[in-house]
A = this chain, B = another copy of it.
């Protein structure tokens, strides 16, 4: 099994630099959640320095939430530089399925560089897996699929780790499949929880070479912080502030008593 807290401890000790080419809506939140867990966030999207920064970083996180053609070009440079270094690349397929541009650019990224971790909700990952699903904005839709099988199959085909977020998150590297059953419904009322999840996965993947274990540990820690943050929150505004506090304060005792990471059959 994954030793969730030990991965968090490594993040806190190593303070990995996590490079982001991300969206303009949640860019602060992505940086702050990485910092709250002990990592060092950096955001550098100029094509002239995106690769240089990925060479310095322990992980590179790509998020297409507010993509442009130019930004995706810079993502390719950053991802290829991370590949050369051997540092993991996370792709948050934010909004895949919503427009032709998003789909095309996702596949371009996947075909240009090695993406080590593909992360999205059920409809986004379905799209990347070649399933015909429509996304409504950035919110998850119910999809009538065997999501575990889809994740495993995509992970094998792309030789990567696949993360499908939802009430229960699925993490598969084609062999092992984890289910992360932490989290709270309030997360769906705060803008950016999906983006933050990808950033946290990046921070954990920077310190743990078993990427499926890293992703499962990161998701579990993030969602335990969310469960703790809901206590005493009166809505998404106070929840947001408490989420950063709880991630920052997260203790061994909290992680070990609250983590719900299982291996799927």
Task: Show the binding face of A for B, using Cβ within 8 Å.
Answer: 17, 23-29, 31-32, 35-36, 40-46, 48-49, 52-53, 56, 65-69, 95, 98-102, 136-139, 189-192, 233-238, 240-249
Contact = CB atoms under 8 A, between A and B. Distances in A.
A56 B66 CA distance: 16
Nearest to A29: B28
* Residue of A42, A65, A95, A139 with highest tally of chain B CB at under 10 A: A42
A52 B99 contact: yes
A227 to B, nearest CB: 15
Contacts of A102: 49
A244 B237 contact: yes
Contacts of A189: 35-36, 248
Contacts of A136: 17, 40, 56
A99 B43 CA distance: 12
A238 B234 contact: no
A264 to B, nearest CB: 30
A104 to B, nearest CB: 9
A191 B244 CA distance: 11
Given A65-B43, A245-B236, A191 B99 contact: no
Contact of A241 (B32, B49, B238, B247): B238
Contacts of A35: 189-191, 236
B192 A98 contact: no
Among A25, A27, A29, A245, residue most surrounded by chain B Cβ atoms (within 10 Å):
A25
Contact of A191 (B31, B95, B101, B242): B31
A26 B28 contact: yes
